[in-house]
Chains A and B, each alone.
Chain A
Amino acid sequence: QLTVGFSQIGSESGWRAAETTVSKGEAAKRSVNLKIADAQQKQENQIKAIRSFVAQGVDAIFLAPVVSTGWDAVLKEAKEAKIPVILLDRDIDPSGKDLYLTAVTSDSVHEGEVAGDWLAKTVGDKQCSIVELQGTVGASVAANRKKGFDTAIAKHANLKIVRSQTGDFTRAKGKEVMESFIKAEGGGKTICAVYAHNDDMMVGAIQAMKEAGLKPGKDILTVSIDAVPDIFKAMVAGEANATVELTPNMAGPALDALTAYKDKGTTPLKWIQTESKLYTAADDPQKAYDSKKGLGY
C-alpha cells in the first residue's frame, strides 16, 4: 500500500474543499493512504509539511503550491530522499525542472481564453461593455485568468472591459463590487456582460443584478470559471450563461501517473493538463448540478 503525503493549501473556497474531498475519494478508490497536511494558506507551513513528509519517509508527495516560487530548496531535499513529487493544480517557477515528476494542472490562462472566446462568439458584432470581477490581488490564478481573457477579447474590437475590480474570490465581495459597478454604469443598462474569475463571485454578482431589477443571463451575459454546483443552479434558473470547468479531480490523474511510475517505471509527461470544459445552458445544467453537488463544494 502506498503512502502519499499531500500538502494542501488550506480551505479558502468551496472549490478547495471539493478538491480535498475528491482527492480523499480517489485515494480510497485506489487504496492509497493519503496524509493531508493543511497549510492555512501559508507557504512556510507547506515547506514545513514537506520536510516532515520527508522525515516520515512517505512514498510520494503531492503538492498544491500556494505560490509558484520558492520551492527549489525543499524539493531538492525530497529528491535527495528519492521521494517523487507531483504538483497539483498549479505549476511552479521556474517550471519544467527535474525537481518533480509531473504536474497535474489546468492552464488558467487557457481558462480565461475559453471564457473570452465564448463571450466573443455569443455577442457577435454587437458593441459590448464588459465588467470584470478579479480574484485576489496578487494571486497568480487571478492574473492568469485576466491575461487569458484579455488575449481572447483583444481580437474583437467591439468587446471592451469598462470596469475591473477585485472581488477577492468571495461571494460577498462579488456582490458588493457588482452593486457599485451597476451604479457606476448608469444602473447597469450599459453593461452587456460580466466576467468573473470564479463562480462564487458570479453568484454574488447575480444577486446584485437581481436586486437592482436587472435580469442576469438575459439583460447581462455572465461567464465565469470553476463550474461549482451553485452556478449550475443559476443556469437552470436562466440566470447564468456559461462557466469553464476547473476540475477538482487533480489527484486521480496524479495517482494514476504515480502507480504507473511505481509499478512499471513509466515516466509520465511533465505536464498533465486537465480539461477546461465549457458549460452553457445547452449542456444540461441540472445534470451537471446533480453530479457535482455531492463532491463537497
Chain B
Amino acid sequence: MAFQLPRRGLAQILALIVILLIDRMVSSQFFDLRLQDGRLFGSLIDVFNRGAPVALLALGMVLVIATRGIDLSVGAVMAISGAIAASLADSHAWPVAVAVALGAGLLCGLWNGFLVAVLGIQPIVATLILMVAGRGVAQLITEGRIVTFTSPDLAWFGTGSALGIPAPVLIVAGTLLVTGLVVRGSALGLLIEAAGGNARASELSGVGIRLMIVAVYVWCSLCAALAGVIAAADIMGADANNAGLWLELDAILAVVIGGTSLFGGRFSLILAVCGALIIQAMNTGILLSGYPPEFNLVVKAAVVLVVLLLQSPRLSGLVANFRKARA
C-alpha cells in the first residue's frame, strides 16, 4: 500500500521518461550498462547514484512540507554529519562514525523542531538559523580543511555496491521503504496530511500536532545526515565548505515537482524521489550535452518550468477548452 502509485503521479513519471529520452538523444550511450568491478556502470546508473543525496533530502523534506513547514538547514546538516563521519572514520569503527553522525543529525532536527513547534517561529526563519550556523559548526569540526579518510568501510556508503547496485541507491531505496512503512503503515501519514491541510481543525480533532512536527523535523535532519555521510563517503573526505551547499533548494524543488504543495497537506514519498531523479536526469543531461557551463542555469530553469507547467491543472484545462473549441 505504501508504494501504490497515485493516479496523479502520471505527469512526473512521464516527465522523467521524456527527460531520460532527451538524455539519450544527447548522448548515444546513455542507456548502455556494463558490469565494472562487480558494480553496474553507465549514465543511467549515474542518474540514480548522483541523485541519491537529493532523493534522501527530499524524503525528509516532503514530510516537513506536508506539515506546512520547510527546512532550509538540510545542506548544513549534511555538512555537519559528513564532517563528523569523516573525522571519526579512521579512528573508530564505521558503526560508531555513522552513529555519531546520525546522532548529530538527530540533535539538529530536535533543535529545528523545538524552534518551530515549541517557540512557534516561522519554519523558514527557524531553519535559516541552523542553515547559517550549522555550516559554521561543520567548518569548526574540520577547521575549514577537507578532512580525508581511508577507511574502506565508510567509503562503502558512497562507492560500494551490493548485487551490482551502488550503495547510495540501495540506501535511498531502504530509506524510502522505511519511511513508507513508518508513515503509511501507521496513522502518521493521515495525521500529517490533516495537520498540514488545516492545523486548527486537526488540533480540535485531538491530533497532537507539536510532537508530530518535532518528529518530522527530526526525520528530515536524519535523512540529511545520512545524505551527508554518503556525500563524504563518495569523495572519501568531508568538505564542510561545499558539502550540501544549496542542496536545500534542490530538495524543495524535488518535493514540489513530486506534486506536494508548499501549503501542506497531501504528499507522496515516491513522487518526491521521482522529483529528485528528474532533477538529476536533467543535470546529467546538461553535463553530457557539452554545452558551455554558462548555459547550465538557463537550461535548468527552462526544464523546471516546463515540467511544472505540464502538471498545472490550469494548463490541462486550457488544452481541453482548446480541443472543445476546435471540435
A joins B in a complex: yes
Residues of chain A whose beta carbon lies under 8 Å from any beta carbon of chain B: 11-14, 16-18, 20, 134, 137, 163-166, 168-172, 175-177, 179-181, 183-184, 186, 200, 203-204, 207, 211-213, 230, 296-297
Q: Which residues of A contact B37 (CB under 8 A)?
A: 211, 213
- Does B236 interact with chain A (Cβ within 8 Å)? yes
- Does B146 interact with chain A (Cβ within 8 Å)? yes
| Bound-complex Cα distance A246 to B231 (A) | 27
Decide: B234 and A137 in contact? CB cutoff 8 A: no
Q: Which residues of B contact A137 (CB under 8 A)?
A: 293-294, 296
Shortest beta-carbon contacts, A-B, top 3: A17-B144, A166-B293, A180-B287
Decide: B145 and A296 in contact? CB cutoff 8 A: yes
- Besides A14-B145, A134-B293, 11 more A-B contacts (Cβ < 8 Å) are A11-B241, A164-B292, A172-B242, A179-B46, A180-B43, A184-B29, A200-B146, A207-B235, A212-B41, A213-B36, A230-B148
Take A166-B296, A211-B159 as given contacts and tell me if A172 and B146 are in contact as well, using a CB distance cutoff of 8 Å. Answer: no
| Bound-complex Cα distance A16 to B143 (A) | 11
Smallest Cβ-Cβ distance to A16: which chain B residue: B144
- Does B69 interact with chain A (Cβ within 8 Å)? no
Decide: B139 and A11 in contact? CB cutoff 8 A: yes
Decide: A297 and B242 in contact? CB cutoff 8 A: no
Decide: A171 and B41 in contact? CB cutoff 8 A: no
Smallest Cβ-Cβ distance to B291: which chain A residue: A165
Q: Which residues of B contact A168 (CB under 8 A)?
A: 242
Decide: B287 and A297 in contact? CB cutoff 8 A: no
Interface centre among B41, B237, B242, B287 (most CB of A within 10 A): B287
| Bound-complex Cα distance A229 to B293 (A) | 28
- Does B266 interact with chain A (Cβ within 8 Å)? no
- Does B193 interact with chain A (Cβ within 8 Å)? no
| Bound-complex Cα distance A276 to B152 (A) | 35
Decide: A14 and B287 in contact? CB cutoff 8 A: no
Decide: A163 and B242 in contact? CB cutoff 8 A: no
| Bound-complex Cα distance A16 to B159 (A) | 28
Q: Which residues of B contact A186 (CB under 8 A)?
A: 29
Minimal beta-carbon separation of B175 from chain A (angstroms)? 20
In the complex, number of A-B residue pairs with CB atoms less than 8 Å apart: 92
Decide: A183 and B27 in contact? CB cutoff 8 A: yes
Q: List 28 A-B contacts (CB under 8 A).
A: A11-B139, A11-B144, A12-B242, A16-B144, A164-B292, A166-B296, A170-B239, A170-B242, A171-B235, A171-B239, A172-B231, A172-B234, A172-B243, A175-B234, A176-B50, A180-B43, A180-B46, A180-B288, A183-B43, A184-B288, A211-B36, A211-B37, A211-B39, A212-B41, A230-B148, A230-B237, A296-B143, A297-B146
0/1 per residue, B208-246, Cβ < 8 Å to A?
000000000000000000000001001111010111000
Take A172-B231, A207-B236 as given contacts and tell me if A163 and B290 are in contact as well, using a CB distance cutoff of 8 Å. Answer: yes
Q: Which residues of A contact B284 (CB under 8 A)?
A: 180
Take A14-B144, A180-B288, A186-B29 as given contacts and tell me if A175 and B293 are in contact as well, using a CB distance cutoff of 8 Å. Answer: no
Decide: A177 and B287 in contact? CB cutoff 8 A: yes
Smallest Cβ-Cβ distance to B26: which chain A residue: A184
Q: Which residues of A contact B159 (CB under 8 A)?
A: 207, 211
Decide: B36 and A212 in contact? CB cutoff 8 A: yes
Decide: A13 and B292 in contact? CB cutoff 8 A: no
Q: Which residues of B contact A176 (CB under 8 A)?
A: 46, 50, 287
Which residues of B (67-117) have their CB < 8 Å from a CB of A? none
Q: Which residues of B contact A163 (CB under 8 A)?
A: 290
| Bound-complex Cα distance A213 to B239 (A) | 25
| Bound-complex Cα distance A233 to B235 (A) | 15
Q: Which residues of A contact B43 (CB under 8 A)?
A: 180, 183
| Bound-complex Cα distance A175 to B287 (A) | 12
- Does B9 interact with chain A (Cβ within 8 Å)? no
- Does B197 interact with chain A (Cβ within 8 Å)? no
| Bound-complex Cα distance A178 to B43 (A) | 12
Minimal beta-carbon separation of B102 from chain A (angstroms)? 20
Smallest Cβ-Cβ distance to B43: which chain A residue: A183
Q: Which residues of A contact B46 (CB under 8 A)?
A: 176, 179-180, 183
Smallest Cβ-Cβ distance to B240: which chain A residue: A11
Minimal beta-carbon separation of B24 from chain A (angstroms)? 12
Smallest Cβ-Cβ distance to B32: which chain A residue: A183
| Bound-complex Cα distance A176 to B46 (A) | 8
Q: Which residues of A contact B287 (CB under 8 A)?
A: 165, 176-177, 180-181, 184
Q: Which residues of A contact B234 (CB under 8 A)?
A: 172, 175
Smallest Cβ-Cβ distance to B30: which chain A residue: A183
Smallest Cβ-Cβ distance to A162: which chain B residue: B290
Q: Which residues of B contact A20 (CB under 8 A)?
A: 144
Which residues of B (36-55) have their CB < 8 Å from a CB of A? 36-37, 39, 41-43, 46, 50
| Bound-complex Cα distance A203 to B159 (A) | 15
Decide: B146 and A171 in contact? CB cutoff 8 A: yes
| Bound-complex Cα distance A288 to B294 (A) | 36
| Bound-complex Cα distance A203 to B288 (A) | 21
Q: Which residues of B contact A183 (CB under 8 A)?
A: 27, 29-30, 42-43, 46, 288
0/1 per residue, B106-148, Cβ < 8 Å to A?
0000000000000000000000000000000001000111101
| Bound-complex Cα distance A297 to B148 (A) | 11
Smallest Cβ-Cβ distance to A13: which chain B residue: B241
Smallest Cβ-Cβ distance to A207: which chain B residue: B235
Decide: A296 and B235 in contact? CB cutoff 8 A: no
Decide: B144 and A184 in contact? CB cutoff 8 A: no
0/1 per residue, B279-305, Cβ < 8 Å to A?
000001001101011101000000000
